[in-house]
Amino acid sequence: MPDQLAAEVTALVGDQADHWDRLGLLPHELLRKMSARGLLCAQVATEHGGLGLSSARSGEFTAHVGGLDSSLRSVMTSQGMAAWAIQRLGDAEQRAGLLRGLVQGRLAAVGFSEAAAGSDVAAMDTTVRTEGDEVVVNGTKVWITAAHYADELVVFGRYGEGGAAVVIPRDAPGVAVERVPDPLGCRAAGHSTVSLDEVRTPAHRLLGGAGMPLPMLVTLVLAYGRMSVAWGCVGILRGCLTAAGAHARSRRQFGRPIGEHQLVGRHLAELLVSEQIATRACEHASALWDANAPDAVTATVLAKHVGATQAARGAASALQVLASAGADNSGLVARAYRDAKLMEIIEGSNELCQVMLAEHVLSDS
Ligand SMILES: Cc1cc2nc3c(=O)[nH]c(=O)nc-3n(C[C@H](O)[C@H](O)[C@H](O)COP(=O)(O)OP(=O)(O)OC[C@H]3O[C@@H](n4cnc5c(N)ncnc54)[C@H](O)[C@@H]3O)c2cc1C
């Protein structure tokens, strides 16, 4: 991991993660500063003004941020997905304008999900149509991470028989953003409902690939999100491991440190195993991603699934080790417990990941 970037974010976050979690907000100026440094989407190529990190290096950086604050890491995941969508689908002009903006202080969110289209994202009924030199978008997106902070909304919808993605300025007439009032975890990530009522935007904001099958378009962009969430889960596990280990060394019961009671030691051992297998799965997927290997897509689903399930399990073990010391609803382990559960839902729930992995097995046999 680029140590200097990690140190920079550690200093920016300081001891504020709990405070931001309770407040349900991240400081806007912090996000702008990180965007302007390219830190929210560190994989953007240097030719577009980004830091140009490989998936592996960006992943370790993402894990570092995930260990500090999952809300901030969630905002990074959204910004990274938006940047990835523009980098992969956009033309030279869109990359020079919209993508460059995302490493110059602008903030973005990505909207697939709707009330009736969650796991079945292809069931979305947001529409995108071209009228002259404008694109018109109608629909309502739910649970859009970072939308509260965003200047740009990358919105997916139906476009004729296929799908399309449009980059909509948050301040365009017809856009309304309303925060989810009381999320379980990642509470400062700015999740919002985004309503789009006859929103008109210049046609040059329609990304390439318009008309492609919707599932294909969505999967292309979600792959980035999955990789980012997977590494974020590694960060959650590392934070839990450190906190549980420290507590097990310092807390004494029955005349000795609780870590020396074998059943507590088992929790620590299992946490270490969780952290290691999640890390290995992420390293493997990132290596394939960096090699542009076709297997990267399945390896990314696997990494996300392993990361999320291990993080949820590991955070529960860490909380068990801390017991009442972790039962106050603040502090790293309590946050991790709430945040990790959500990782099993987003970017392809556990079940959807299992469905995709099973399809992979079936297609091979
Ligand atoms: C914290 C958070 C952040 C989010 N951020 C974003 C974002 O930035 N952008 C965005 O577009 N969306 C976002 N979402 C929405 C997220 O993508 C959806 O919540 C997710 O896709 C699951 O959809 P759902 O909640 O409607 O659950 P449902 O689809 O209703 O699923 C309910 C349950 O049924 C299971 N299930 C459904 N279908 C199947 C099946 N075929 N086989 C087996 N099991 C199945 C699911 O796994 C789940 O357990 C976010 C959600 C949360 C909670």
What pLDDT is stored for residue 97 in this prediction? 95
Whether pLDDT at 357 is above 60: yes
pLDDT digit string (tens) for 213-270? Answer: 999 999 999 999 999 999 999 999 999 999 999 999 999 999 999 999 999 999 999 9
Domain boundaries, the chain: 3-101, 108-212, 215-364
Q: According to DSSP H, which parts of the chain are helical?
A: 3-13, 17-23, 28-36, 55-68, 70-89, 92-94, 100-101, 214-250, 262-290, 296-322, 332-343, 350-364
What pLDDT is stored for residue 31 in this prediction? 98
Q: Is the CB of 78 under 6 A from ligand 1?
A: yes
* Distance from Cα 361 to the centre of ligand 1, integer Å: 23
Instruction: Return the CATH number of the domain spanning residue range 3-101.
Output: 1.10.540.10
| Arithmetic mean of pLDDT, 303-316 | 98
Measured distance CA(270)–CA(263) in Å, rounded:
11
Residues contacting residue 156 through CB under 8 Å, at least 6 positions apart: 110, 111, 112, 121, 124, 126, 163, 164, 165, 214, 217, 218, 221
What pLDDT is stored for residue 2 in this prediction? 64
Q: Is the CB of 143 under 6 A from ligand 1?
A: yes
Q: Which residue's CA is the closest to the ligand 1 atom numbered 18?
A: 118
- The residue assigned the tokens 């990358």 is 154
Confidence at 3, pLDDT banded by 50, 70, 90:
confident
pLDDT digit string (tens) for 268-297? Answer: 999 999 999 999 999 999 999 999 999 999
pLDDT digit string (tens) for 119-145? Answer: 999 999 999 999 999 999 999 999 999
Strands (DSSP E) contained in 123-219 are 127-131, 134-144, 152-159, 162-169, 175-179, 192-202
* 189: Cα within 13 Å, side-chain hemisphere: 27
Task: Provide the CATH topology of domain 108-212.
Answer: Butyryl-CoA Dehydrogenase, subunit A; domain 2 (2.40.110)
Amino acid at 215: P
Q: Is the CB of 99 under 6 A from ligand 1?
A: no
Measured distance CA(360)–CA(365) in Å, rounded:
9
Confidence at 151, pLDDT banded by 50, 70, 90:
very high
- Please choose from 346, 353, 357, 359 the residue to mutate so as to test ligand 1's pocket, defined by most ligand atoms within 8 A of CB: 346
Look up residue 33 and give its two tokens.
Answer: 């500063």
Given 3.90.1150.10, 3.40.1350.10, 1.20.140.10, 3.40.50.300, which CATH number is that of 215-364? Answer: 1.20.140.10
Share of the chain above pLDDT 70, in %: 99
Q: Is the CB of 122 under 6 A from ligand 1?
A: no
| Run of H or E including 257 | strand 256-257
Query: Which DSSP string corresponds to 92-129?
Result: HHHIIIIIHHTTTT--EEEE--BTTBSS-GGG---EEE
